[in-house]
Copies of this chain bind each other. A is one copy, B any other.
Amino acid sequence: MGAGAGKTRRMPRAVRERQMLDAAVRTFARLGYRAASMDGIAELAGVSKPLVYLYLHSKEDLFTAVIRREARALVDAVRAGVEPSLPADAQLWAGLRAFFTHTAEHPDGWAVLHHQARTHGEPFAAEVAAMREEIVAFVTALIGAAAREAHGTPDLPARDVAGLAQALVGAAESLAGWANETEGVSAKEAAATLMNFAWAGLGNLMRGERWAAGR
């Protein structure tokens, strides 16, 4: 018998736990919370169902653990991509690239966060909402900084900035899906599209130019 062949057994808890979470992300992403079965997840993870329960306690806990892990990974990736000493526009650009890169590399994690977690009741939605708030706040801060840096305009109406940030994040979410699904659209390209879009809107906002019906 070759070395290490056969069914690998007896692994440290931390390793097994990661395998389970990996299987769960994939399953939840593809089927949704309800349609995913603990049986299926256990099988995909290569362990028996009781072990999943022993380590993750319940389907709800498992889903929560998945959401937390993926949310943390995404937020960390974006933060890690940003150099706080750079100008705001460069930070935004870096953040967008990190965001699109991460979502492209972890499509299942992104699907869980964007689609599944938000459609299955308060407890899970709240978890994701917290992460989204974190990102929206980050973007909001950048927009404020950009305004100050570029034009010395410290007094953009908060409501407008919030709306802009919401639109920006929503656009990013939508483009992440588009880039994942459309052949040949790279993370960089998606980031560029959005950056142009955003920067122009921001410039307008700061110049006080608004679109006006009839004009």
Contacts and interface: CB of A to CB of B under 8 A. Distances in A.
Interface of A: 31-35, 89-90, 93, 115-116, 118-121, 159-160, 163-164, 166-175, 177-178, 185, 189-190, 192-201, 203-205, 209-211, 213-214
Nearest to A115: B119
Contact of A34 (B32, B178, B192, B193): B32
Given A115-B119, A167-B193, 10 more contacts: A32-B119, A90-B213, A163-B193, A164-B193, A164-B197, A170-B172, A195-B211, A196-B211, A197-B201, A200-B211
B170 A174 contact: yes
A70 to B, nearest CB: 15
5 contacts: A90-B214, A93-B213, A167-B174, A173-B174, A200-B205
Contact of A163 (B178, B211, B214): B178
Number of copies of this chain in the oligomer?
4
Contacts of A93: 211, 213
Nearest to A92: B211
A93 B120 CA distance: 33
A174 B169 contact: yes
A89 B211 contact: yes
Contacts of A178: 163, 166, 170
Contacts of A192: 210-211
B116 A167 contact: no
Contacts of A170: 170-175, 177-178
A54 to B, nearest CB: 11
